[in-house]
Structures are given as structure tokens and as C-alpha cells.
A = this chain, B = another copy of it.
Amino acid sequence: MTNFATHLASRLGAEVITPRGAIPARYHHDWTGLDPVEPLALARPRSTEEVAAILSACHAAGIAVVPQGGLTGISGGAHPAADGIVISLERLNQIDAIDTDAGTLTAGAGVVLETAQQAARDAGLLLGIDIGARGSCQLGGVLATNAGGNTVIRYGMARDHVLGLEVVLADGTIVEGMNTMLKNNAGLDLKQLFIGSEGTLGIITRCVLRLHPLPPAKATAFVGCADTDKVIALLRASRAALGPMLSSFEVMWPSFFDFMSQATGLGSPLADPHGAYVIIEATGFDATATRETLEQLFETAFEKGLVEDGVLARSVKEEQALWAVRESPAEYERVLGPVIPFDVGIPIRLMDHAVTTIGAAIKAAYPTARALCYGHIGDSNLHVVVNVPEAGRAQPTHEVKDLVYGLVRDMGGTVSAEHGIGTIKRAYLAHSRSAVEIGLMRGFKGLLDPKGILNPGKSFDGVGAE
């Protein structure tokens, strides 16, 4: 295998191939927290053709390939294999074009999301994909994991932004699919299979993304509701009143909000505690109309008893203050220590039941545990973050996962709403997908990557085949 790294370096040069022993530590892991692994070699190709040459060589030799982007994934999808190489797409970082007439951005897989967002904004347009890791994550990874985020309710998942995709298959074949047209029904829409495949079916090298008009106006409200049912009624009212102006609808239950607002010292925008807290963000094309529509919604909701209290931001600074606690999860390590995080999907009609049941089940098993609940409720997406204080660094991860994912399965939910399956949720994939579905996934894998070299053991790969 060391021979293979030498062979690869002889074909592509030391500028592209770094052998084991000389690979910087940052490529040994992603943000998941798994034990670092140094791969056989690190490949940092400068072109699609070099990606193809690397894959062709790996395919011939049967060497595993783990694709990496910004390494911000938290499901272990980019975690290296000791007997395989890592291929980082970071050098494919060119924005090739922004077409303001068509509303498209054409870029390499290694472009950092924030760079693409800024380029779109500079052209007077909006790239509607936004996630917390925007400053580090790269477009290839964003698409390979079908990333979500806070604006999915308005702009959809990463998938919904993709018009064209260039992909290199396991054997080095380049699939040119750089379509720029909103409509293209010429046969199967192949790109869809690669989006969200977590590097198991091919490596994304370039993309054409759709851009949206940039809404110049924004208004933000922070409200307290009595319970989850009121929150869901408020969601309906918000959709009806704001239509496509509704750009975020973020719910925080007391388990998250009351605890984090105190533990971080950020405090609450509201005087009293409530049964649930909601951030409603509206974006629009007329500042007065945007603000007034949100105000009107708030007044009507207050009159109808859907909300108990609330504030509207009057400045950007106030707006940031309303988001502060929602954006405090980076403080978990400091205020909680190690946590067991969940990113599950629950049908909306069962959301109240889910929050109650999951919280109660964790408390029953671990009476001192915290189970922080918050989420993008309009997208059916619930985040639960668990910490068992007395367990210290030895959190009962497996036991809590079995418990939570079991409840999610019983409610017909999904074990991954937006973070993907990667390495760490494979054991639970069958909770949310049938044997028939997983069998089809493996069938596609066998067709596209018969030697199984692409990100082996990630996502569905090998699930149910043991």
C-alpha cells in the first residue's frame, strides 16, 4: 500500500500527493470528534482531470478513497480510512462565472460557501444556502451531504439549488452535467443521485447553483408561546401571513432556551419564562411592508392567544441579540461538557409528542440528564442535545442513541434530517429506511462503484449486507 502512494506520487507529482507521515493533522478527522486517522496518502488535485486520474489509479488498484471538503461534517462522512487515501477538493476553489441574467453561479467543489455567498451578493443576488459552518464548509461537501440550515423553510435544501453538476465516477469517468437551465427534462436527472450520497457514488468536482433575488429588507421577532401546539398554530399563521417572506421559524423549548440563556449569561429578550420560544424572521423586497406584515402577524397572534409575549428587533444589533441564544451551541463544551447530539426529523403533527416523550425517556433512564430541544420546526427538524452530568467524558452515547432513535423510528421520523448518516448513524439507518430502500441504495453503489472504493462504510454502504 505504501507502494501505491509512491505510484500515485510518481504519476501526479509531489505537489498533488502527500504520503503518510507528512499529512497535516487537519486531514486526519472532521468535526465529528472521532479518533484521528492518518490515511495512506493525501491527494489535493488541481483539476477535474487530476481527480479523474487519481480515481482511475485507485480503481485499478482497489484502494479506498475518502473525499474531503471543509471537514465541518459532524456525522463522520469525511473521516479517513487508514488503508485508503484522502482526496481533498480544496484546490478546486475557482468561481468560474456568475450569470446575472440566468441567475446562476458556476464554481468548483472547493469553493468555501461564504465565498460563494459573498460573490453572489456582490452581483446583487442571493445564494440561498446557509449553514453555521459557512466560513469553512465547501460547496462539494455541502452538495454531497445535501446540507440544510436555517433558511430551508424559504429556499429549500442544498439539492434545491443545484442546476448542474460535474461528477467523477469511481473508475475516473467524468460525468459532465453542467446544465445551467431551470428546466431540462432530457432523460433521467442523474445529478439527483449524487446529491446527498456522501461521497459513496462519485466525487463532485464542479456545480452550477441557482441564485435568487436578494431581498433588501429583513424583520425579526422573538416570541414566547405557552406550548408546542400554540407554536404550530403560529407556524400556520406565519406561513399564511408572510408567504415566501417567512425565511426562518426557529423553535427553542425551555430545556434548551432557559438553560442556555442562563448558562451562557446571554439572558432572555423576554421578562418571563414561556413554554416555547420562537424566532420568526421575514425577508422581503419592501422594508415597510416586511416590517408591517410581521408586526401585524404578531398583533393578530397575540390577540388570538397564540403568543404570550414578544419583541421585534429595531436594529441589526437587536436582531443579533434575538438570535444569540439560538446560536450558542458552540458553547456546549464549556457549559455542559461532552454532549450526545441528535438531528432528527419528526412529522409535525407528532412534534409535541416527540419533545415530551424523548425528554421523559431520557430523564427516566438518566435522572440527572439534560436533553436540550430546539429545531427548525417548519422543516420537521428537531435537534436534541443530551448530557449526563455524572458521566463526564464517558457519556452513554450508545444507550442514549438506541433510546432516542428507537422513539424516532416509532414515530415514523428520520434519524437524519440534515446532517447525513456518515459513519456514526449507520447502525440506525434501517430505523428510517426499509430493507427494500437500503437494498436499492446498495444496488446503485454496486453499479457505480463495483469495487467499493468510494467512501467505503459510509452512509448506507454495507448496511444490511453484514
Contacts and interface: CB of A to CB of B under 8 A. Distances in A.
Contact of A182 (B103, B152, B181, B460): B152
Contacts of A418: 183, 185
Q: Taking the full assembly, how many copies of this chain does it contain?
A: 2
A186 interface: yes
Contact of A102 (B100, B285, B349): B349
A332 to B, nearest CB: 22
Among A146, A239, A459, find the residue whose CB has the most chain B CB atoms closer than 10 A: A239
Interface in A132-157: 145-146, 148, 152-153, 156-157
A183 B436 contact: no
Interface string A167-209: 0000001111101111111111110110111000100000000
Contacts of A176: 434, 436-437
A183 B345 contact: yes
Contact of A185 (B146, B189, B438): B146
A98 B221 CA distance: 29
A188 B444 contact: yes
Contact of A285 (B145, B243, B415, B419): B243
B417 A184 contact: yes
Contact of A416 (B101, B186, B241, B379): B186
Interface in A202-235: 212-215, 232, 235
B184 A441 contact: no
A86 interface: no
A235 B192 CA distance: 28
B190 A196 contact: no
Nearest to A376: B183
A440 interface: yes
Q: What are the 10 tightest A-B residue pairs by CB atom distance, in nearest-first order?
A: A192-B192, A244-B244, A181-B380, A183-B417, A182-B379, A186-B432, A187-B460, A181-B345, A102-B348, A213-B243
Contact of A440 (B99, B186, B190, B413): B190
B243 A437 contact: no
B101 A417 contact: no
A319 interface: no
Contacts of A124: 240
B180 A188 contact: no
Given A124-B240, A293-B285, A415 B101 contact: no
A67 interface: no
Interface string A54-81: 0000000000000000000000000000
11 contacts: A103-B239, A146-B185, A148-B183, A176-B434, A184-B414, A187-B460, A243-B284, A243-B285, A244-B244, A244-B245, A444-B447
